[in-house]
Amino acid sequence: MPVQLSLWWTLVGAGLLISFTPGAGAISTMANSLAGGWARSIWGVLGQQVALIVHIVIVALGVGVLVAANHWLFTAIRWLGAAYLVFLGVQYWRDRPVGVGQLDAEIAQDTARPTHLQPWPMFRRGVLVNLTNPKAIVFFLAFTPQFIRLDGDLLTQYLVYAATLVAIDIIVMWFFFALAAKALRRFMRDAAGQRLISRIFGSLFILVGVLLALLE
């Protein structure tokens, strides 16, 4: 049974709604774009997609049921994710402003960038931000079955499902959230503006982390 076109369009609509919903991934993308530039922020976006694929694979293999049913395991992962987001928030609060007039030079020269704005750390951070959110597994447990038909080719359906969600999320994160952050870049031209933006995003990371820890 081939993938139904009407079902696929429903998936596209649902995927857009999910991606446009602000969360830790969107905050991370905007923060990366502000600090490292729009082009470089793609590394964090790609890292988030790796985590998304892992979540889908976990659900496809049935492991997600085990995680959702095991209260202690779920709680441990939830607290780990919350702690990591708070850690990122503290990092942004502690970031030192770039000297006035040096921001554009840093964009052009990789050697001038702090370590956490290099491609690999940015990619790794994107993976961890999404991977340490156990609620994503629970969400995909409820969401995925709506678009999978057991009487069809499961492998093909899962590949189309994953490819669609990844493509949508890359487009939304990079061409919406990262570009939206780019528009704020004029505030980064002086130390006070940089400090304000860093603390805003740092506070958002901490808030999301606290909510992740408190919400059952």
Q: What pTM, to 2 d.p., does this model score?
A: 0.76
- Scan for tokens 């958002």, then name that residue: 204
pLDDT higher at 56 or 192: 56
Find the length of the chain: 216
Cβ–Cβ < 8 Å for 143, 10: no
pLDDT at residue number 168: 96
Tens digits of per-residue pLDDT, 118-170? 888 999 999 998 888 776 777 787 788 888 877 788 888 899 999 999 999 99
Q: 78-83: long-range contacts at Cβ-Cβ below 8 A with a sequence spacing of 24 or more?
A: 78/134, 78/135, 78/212, 78/213, 79/213, 80/132, 81/132, 81/133, 81/134, 81/209, 81/212, 82/209, 82/210, 82/212, 82/213, 83/209, 83/213
pLDDT digits (tens, 9 = 90+) for 17-72: 888 877 788 888 988 888 888 899 999 999 999 999 999 998 888 877 777 777 78
Say how many C-beta atoms besides its own lie within 10 A of residue 30's C-beta.
26
Query: How many independent structural domains does the chain possess?
Result: 1
Cα distance between residue 187 and residue 200, in whole Å? 12
Structural domain containing residue 162: 5-214
Rounded Cα–Cα distance for residues 205 and 32 (Å)? 13
Could you report the per-residue pLDDT of 74-131, keeping only the tens digit for each? 778 778 878 888 888 888 888 766 554 444 544 454 444 566 668 889 999 999 988 8
Q: Are 182 and 174 in contact (CB under 8 A)?
A: no
